[in-house]
Amino acid sequence: MRSVFALPALVCATTVMFESPIRVRRFIFNVHLILAACAGAFVVTLAGTGSIIEFEPELDRAFHARLAYVRAGQDPLSLVEIGNAVSRRFGGEPVVAYFLAAKPDLSWQVALPSGIAYVNQYTGEVLGERRRGETFLGLVRELHLRLGGGELGGGILKWSTVAMLFSLVSGLYLWWPNKQIRIRLMRSKRLRWSDLHHTVGIVSLLPLGLLATSGVILGFEGQLAPVVYRLTDSRPAVVSRFSASVHQTEAATITPDQAVAIARRLVPNAVAYRVQMPKYGGVYQVALSDANDGVAGDRNIVALDPYGNVVSVVKSSTVSRGDRVFMVNEAIHTGNILGVPTRIGALLGTIAALVQVSSGLAMWMYRRKIVGTSAVPLEATQ
């Protein structure tokens, strides 16, 4: 927890030592510059991959339209029929899970040990398969979360998000004395870049601040969780550990369709979107989405043993206050909290981050050129 605030606290403590406002300003300027130089490449990676992830479902369907879209029919086949068709197509591979689409013209997916099969739920036609970890968007997501480098990459990106947040705060401090929002085309190249940097930074301060703050919370969720649960006087949801059911000689095992029917009775306002088979975990796990709960609506999970006995029920309406705080934060970061408008806002925010890094780099290059080739004092170029 302490590590999250170590850098801002160090900067604040150091600025107190300076008596002159000019020295304080120059110190903050130098920290702003150093952080931008060190974290700039990683911020570009976060912003670039984040802008793609904002519209990942739409992009994924656009890249794989042949697999994603079907002609809408009246009633889909049963999950048993779909699973049998897919299993026959891929040499008897067992079904790991079913993924049911929310829209009637989108295909359903069947998870197999080897990959994901796409199937027309109205005809049983297998449209194709995508192997695990072989998609462009999968690579983009891995870069956004871990730089493609596991725990080390994830740590670098976490602290880059902290640097981005401090850069926004220090940038606001540096801009405040002049409070100018304008781009004067008749000025020198360096000053035009400076105007662009300041203007875009202020205009995009709110969305960039939300993205950076929510990113810091996501990155340090483990350290922040105890504080959040203490402040909200709540506890995290307990994930039950399931064990395989004892064979009941007089009871018949249920089908995945029956598991979905039972789950929908328990959560009547929700629609099933994922069914995990009991071979993988000992129980059916049916995940359902409630459109009336925009933040936690997809957190309904009903667990059933292979004989239809209810093992546990988790409803979005019973999610703790602390869990909901983290869900809201994630929805803000992904732009899903208010649907398409906020996703577009998040996209514009990530584009603004790219502009800020580029314009800041241009300002630094022109500043070096001026200082290195003339007698202009250093402070005159700030």
Q: Write the pLDDT tens digit of every residue in 180-216.
A: 888 877 777 778 888 888 888 898 888 889 889 999 9
- Please give the full DSSP string across 161-190, using - where no structure is assigned: HHHHHHHHHHHHHHHTTT------TTS-HH
Confidence at residue 240, expressed as pLDDT on a 0 to 100 scale: 46
Q: Write the pLDDT tens digit of every residue in 57-74.
A: 888 888 889 999 999 988
Mean pLDDT check: name the lowest of 135-144, 148-157, 243-252, 324-333. 243-252
Can you give the three-state secondary structure of the chain, one letter per residue?
CHHHHHHHHHHHHHHHCCCCHHHHHHHHHHHHHHHHHHHHHHHHHHHHHHHHHCCHHHHHHHHCHHHHECCCCCCCCCHHHHHHHHHHHCCCCCCCEEECCCCCCECEEEEECCEEEEECCCCCCEEEEEECCCCHHHHHHHHHHHCCCHHHHHHHHHHHHHHHHHHHHHHHHHHCCCCCCCCCCCCCHHHHHHHHHHHHHHHCHHHHHHHHHHHHHHHCHHHHHHHHHHHCCCCCCCCCCCCCCCCCCCCCCCCHHHHHHHHHHHCCCCEEEEEECCCCCCCEEEEEECCCCCCCCCCEEEEECCCCCEEEEECHHHCCHHHHHHHHHHHHHHCCCCCHHHHHHHHHHHHHHHHHHHHHHHHHHHHHHHHHHCCCCHHHHC
Confidence at residue 152, expressed as pLDDT on a 0 to 100 scale: 79
Secondary structure of the chain: what % helix, strand, coil (to 5)? Answer: 55, 10, 30
Q: Which of the four pLDDT bands, split at 50, 70 and 90, describes residue 94?
A: very high
Q: Percent of the chain, pLDDT > 70? A: 84
Q: Which of the four pLDDT bands, split at 50, 70 and 90, describes residue 134?
A: low
What DSSP designation does 106 have?
Answer: B
Torsion of CA 309, 311, 312, 313, to 10 degrees: -20
| Position 376 pLDDT exceeds 80 | no
Quote the CA–CA distance of 285 and 311 in Å, as a whole number: 10
Q: Which of the four pLDDT bands, split at 50, 70 and 90, describes residue 242?
A: very low
Mean pLDDT check: name the lowest of 7-11, 51-55, 80-84, 270-274. 7-11
- Regarding pTM above 0.95, the answer is no
Q: Which residue has the higher pLDDT, 17 or 368?
A: 368
Quote the CA–CA distance of 365 and 342 in Å, as a whole number: 35
Nearest-5° Cα angle at 193, 192 to 197: 120
| Position 230 pLDDT exceeds 80 | yes
Q: How far is CA 131 from CA 111, 124, 263, 277, in A?
A: 10, 20, 30, 20
Mean pLDDT check: name the lowest of 78-92, 331-345, 347-361. 331-345
Q: Write the pLDDT tens digit of every residue in 261-313.
A: 999 999 988 999 999 999 888 899 999 998 777 677 788 999 999 999 999 88
Q: Which residue has the higher pLDDT, 40 or 254?
A: 254
47 closest CA partner among 327, 337, 358: 358
Quote the CA–CA distance of 197 and 357 in Å, as a whole number: 9
| Position 382 pLDDT exceeds 90 | no
The answer to whether the beta carbons of residues 290 and 300 sit under 8 Å apart is: yes
Nearest-5° Cα angle at 2, 24 to 237: 135
Confidence at residue 132, expressed as pLDDT on a 0 to 100 scale: 63
Q: Which residue has the higher pLDDT, 264 or 350?
A: 264
The mean pLDDT value of the chain amounts to 82
State the DSSP H helix or E strand holding residue 117, giving kind and residue range, or none if neither: strand 115-119
pLDDT mean over 95-107:
95
Q: Which residue has the higher pLDDT, 276 or 347?
A: 276
Q: Write the pLDDT tens digit of every residue in 15-30.
A: 454 456 778 888 888 8
Backbone region of residue 296 per phi and psi (left: phi > 0; alpha: psi in -120 to 50; beta: other values): alpha
pLDDT mean over 2-15:
52
